[in-house]
Structure 1
Amino acid sequence: MGRKKVLAVVHTVTYGKRLLDVLALLEADFRLQVVFTAPPHAFGDDVPAFLARLGSVVLPWDQATRMTFDLALAAGPRGVQYIDAPLITLPHGANYLKLVVEGVNSGVAGLRRQDLLPGGRLPAAVVVPHHAELRELARHCPEALPLAHVAGDPVHDRIVASLPLRAAYRRALGLTEGQKLVVAVSTWGAQSSFGRFDGLLPRLIGELPAARYRTALLVHPNVWSGHGAYQVRAWLARCAQLGMALVPPEADWRSVLIAADWIIGDHGSVTLYGTLTGVPMLLATSSEGETNPASPAAALAALAPTLSPTHPLVDQLDYAAREYRRREYAAIASRITSEPGRFNRNMRRLMYGLLGMGQPAHEPTTLPLPEPLPLPAWAPGRGEVSA
């Protein structure tokens, strides 16, 4: 039986996770064979292990660039001009948040000409989450505008579909009645909150009573790849010994985010997705120099209270809860996608259209997220008993 071949181009773990949400729409179709490849990338060290855990067929990059495929998917531009296939490009995070300052190459990451037309080659389709991106395309790369498809955001839809399971996620994490979960979130880069963790982490450990609060860290996979897993764990070893949960890069962070009572974040995608959860937020840092001023991340930075270095952390969490204005955060969340709940429908139609095949005769469903693993045992010496 001849099968059409679909290539997933996985530059980094972050890109790979985004593609898995898309590839799930091709499951159970025996007419298709999905294979993976990993182009060279500065943050690609963890990709081989990521793909090995999937049990996927992985083609060496030099082999993949010599073959022809019926469809290719990529959440990043590097090297994709060498792929012989109708190519769909997607963003790898929430919206287009990052501002890049590189002389003539400055602009919004993902919407610059070199991002949309790598090597000067047009893809078959450019997937964007919101109609607002069409204005950016028209201004910065009008050639890509006819190829644009406003499909929505798969992470948005998975989180929203999973919100009713918040209590189940909290039980799975091991939270007891009355306990509060504080989730500290960091993107990558010099201006990320990870760069401030040496000041924040002692406060999370020392100022939050262990009987009432648990803490978890969500650190961008690029931090793990850039510094190495050994170094990240070494930096945070004492935190882990004291019961702070360090969510590994291969884990699904979304259920942990949903379980949170507070989110302490920065200007990255995970913090922005936190606006969907309906919980109070604090910003450990924000970076105007790295944030697209037209993005919802910029709007969030103008709304969320900023962590103070001098006031007690518990008081600041209470302040954030008192001052939380659900409607204003919901307005920011609504800018993540203009196709809420419709990514699977829109994306599947696009993929099968490019494949020249009829879609499976059922509605694509948005599945709730799986339950997270338990938080680590509480550390003795903090007034608790270790498990």
Structure 2
Amino acid sequence: MRSAAALHRLLDVLPVFEGDHRVRRLFTLAPGSDFGVDALAALESAGARTVPWERALAESYDLIVAASPKGDLDRLDGPVVLLPHGAGFGKTVSGEGAADSASGLDPEYLLRDGRPLAALHALAHPQQITRLAERCPEAAARATVVGDPTLDRILESRTLRDRYRAALGTGERRLIVLVSTWGPESLLSRRPGLAERLCGELPMDEYQLALVAHPNTHSDSGTFDLVERLPREVVLARPHEEWATLLIASDAVVSDHGSAALYAAALDRPVLGVYDGGTELLPGTPMDRLLASVPRLGPADRFGVTLAAYRPGVGPAAARDAFDAGAQGDALDRLRTEIYVRLGLPRPSGAAVPRLLPVPRRPAGPPAAFGVRVERASGGLRVERRPARIDVPPPHHLAAEADAAGVRAVHSAGLLYRRWREDSPGTPESWTAEALACHPGCRTAGVILSPERCLVRRRDWAGGPLTLRIEPLTGRGGAVLPDPATVLSAVHALSLEELEASLRSAVNCLVGARGWRVRPAPV
């Protein structure tokens, strides 16, 4: 291996050898890549046995499995099985090989002294063999279609979508995943402010944002620096496995020309393109065809309007040019057959099955302070919450969770609230009175007692505290309720006349496409 990206692909194919006591799995890092440090760290955390490069050169091996043809692989003693470390062979890397040759199909790396590097070139689609034959017929003679083990792993894990979304805390929101490759033409390089822009455009109760960055980006800048560059509300996927779980969990994907979007397209997720052109994307490749067939999100385009222009079915059509439909589900088993022929061993009995993708980490919770926009709409009050730092569109008020937000937000909030616990001091009624007394700029204080009940006290309401009962909606998984803090914001925005009227009927709190009836009553 030469990089974390190559390592991750190798880890996806390890079930080929699962349970076989005759095979010993060793790893070595071929020198020459700037992105190898994270690969060694990943192997260390997994407890894998690594062999220093110089020692690896002194040994003989029955089989060498690699996911990149670059580096001095020909110096290792043993037959090489070469796998792609992406999908579609759509990108050329500046300064490496021929400018018109896809990374991974370049004869400069596939031939050594005029002879093919690999004993087996395991590809995902017949068109890839055709392209390889045009560039390097010697290597194409040793190529065969086995399918894409990573795609099979993703497809096998589709049934865990609800579990992934639960772990991410997505709920009823739409999960939008930004996908960035690495290099100067990537989303993060060309559109570094896109995530922040979407944080301002998309209300937090309706959308969740995440980023999948190429492993080289993690290796280049370090994950810590990458996190610091992103809005804190954006979920950053770990580079191995977690990126794929986010694609499964997603509702739409925004991508540059990196091949990860082809996996999203294979899942039939809507894809929006943000690639602004350049020299890296090769014309006529599956990724080029995908970006040509999906809407492009320009710097000034509204996300919702662009997403609505996506035509269902165009993504899977482009993905079919990258992944052979006849091999789907069988990639590991086909690869096992080919590999054991090269090993000269009987293959293990039974089929090689992809390992399910693990559940992602739960990200940090929502912010403790929001800029809240409340509009009177047909049927009620529409509540939209965004991070407090964002002032476009202008918010109606600042809402802050009193025991979770910072001093500045608490002192500036028009609505202060807290979530009541068994060990909370005093009573909800006394806390709301104290909050209004201690914070002259606060007009409303509320306490969330349960997902369906709140207590609220308004400075301009002489009738004392009110209880709020939220009527749940029936959803796919049972009762669906909003964050009660959105209801407190709706009641905060009522005029005195509207508040008086609500005691006789109800308040309709609209969040996204749903509306909840809220019934206020005197304590």
User: Structure 2 length as normaliser, TM-score?
Assistant: 0.67
Gaps of 5+ in 2: 371-384, 386-399, 405-418, 420-523
Report 1:1-387 matches (<5 A): 10-40=1-31, 41-77=33-69, 78-100=71-93, 102=95, 105-106=98-99, 107-118=101-112, 120-122=114-116, 123-176=118-171, 178-236=172-230, 239-240=231-232, 243-250=233-240, 252-313=242-303, 315-316=304-305, 319-320=306-307, 322-338=308-324, 339-382=327-370, 383=385
**Distance of 2:239 and 2:356 partners within structure 1:** 20
Q: Is the 8 A contact 1:182 1:215 kept in 2?
A: yes
> How many residues of Structure 1 are paired with residues of Structure 2 in the alignment?
369
- CA drift of 1:153 comes to 0.5
Name the CA shift for 1:69/1:275 in 2 (closer, same or farther; >3 Å): same
SS at match of 1:172: helix
Larger Rg belongs to: 2
Q: Is the 8 A contact 1:169 1:255 kept in 2?
A: yes
Name the CA shift for 1:372/1:33 in 2 (closer, same or farther; >3 Å): same
Q: Is the 8 A contact 1:244 1:376 kept in 2?
A: no
- CA drift of 1:100 comes to 4.0
- Amino acid across the alignment from 1:151: V
SS at match of 2:192: helix
- Amino acid across the alignment from 1:232: L
- CA drift of 1:269 comes to 1.4
**Distance of 1:340 and 1:231 partners within structure 2:** 37
SS at match of 2:317: helix
- Amino acid across the alignment from 1:74: A
Deviations 1:48-106 (A, max 9, x none): 21110110110001110111001000111211111101110111001211124559733
Deviations 1:140-169 (A, max 9, x none): 111112211111111111122222322221
Name the CA shift for 1:188/1:169 in 2 (closer, same or farther; >3 Å): same
**Distance of 1:221 and 1:346 partners within structure 2:** 27
Q: Is the 8 A contact 1:216 1:244 kept in 2?
A: yes
- Amino acid across the alignment from 1:158: R
Q: From the two aligned structures, give the one with the greater helix fraction.
A: 1
- Amino acid across the alignment from 1:154: P
**Distance of 1:75 and 1:120 partners within structure 2:** 21
Q: Is the 8 A contact 1:50 1:250 kept in 2?
A: no
**Distance of 2:97 and 2:77 partners within structure 1:** 29
Q: Is the 8 A contact 1:128 1:152 kept in 2?
A: yes
**Distance of 2:253 and 2:200 partners within structure 1:** 18
Name the CA shift for 1:271/1:104 in 2 (closer, same or farther; >3 Å): closer
Instruction: Give the % identical residues.
Output: 34
Q: Is the 8 A contact 2:15 2:332 kept in 1?
A: no
**Distance of 2:72 and 2:97 partners within structure 1:** 20
Deviations 1:299-350 (A, max 9, x none): 011011111222333x33xx42x33323222111112221222211110001
Q: Is the 8 A contact 1:184 1:265 kept in 2?
A: yes
Gaps of 5+ in 1: 1-9
**Distance of 1:351 and 1:142 partners within structure 2:** 22
**Distance of 1:150 and 1:93 partners within structure 2:** 15
- Amino acid across the alignment from 2:81: I
Higher RCO (Cα < 8 Å, 6 or more apart): 1
Q: Is the 8 A contact 2:93 2:280 kept in 1?
A: yes
**Distance of 1:283 and 1:81 partners within structure 2:** 38
- CA drift of 1:36 comes to 0.4
- CA drift of 1:188 comes to 0.4
User: Structure 1 length as normaliser, TM-score?
Assistant: 0.90
- CA drift of 1:189 comes to 0.8
- CA drift of 1:115 comes to 2.4
Q: Is the 8 A contact 1:80 1:118 kept in 2?
A: no
- Amino acid across the alignment from 1:57: R
Name the CA shift for 1:333/1:231 in 2 (closer, same or farther; >3 Å): same
**Distance of 2:277 and 2:55 partners within structure 1:** 40
Name the CA shift for 1:198/1:328 in 2 (closer, same or farther; >3 Å): closer
- CA drift of 1:367 comes to 3.4
- CA drift of 1:352 comes to 0.6
Q: From the two aligned structures, give the one with the greater strand fraction.
A: 2
**Distance of 2:113 and 2:221 partners within structure 1:** 30
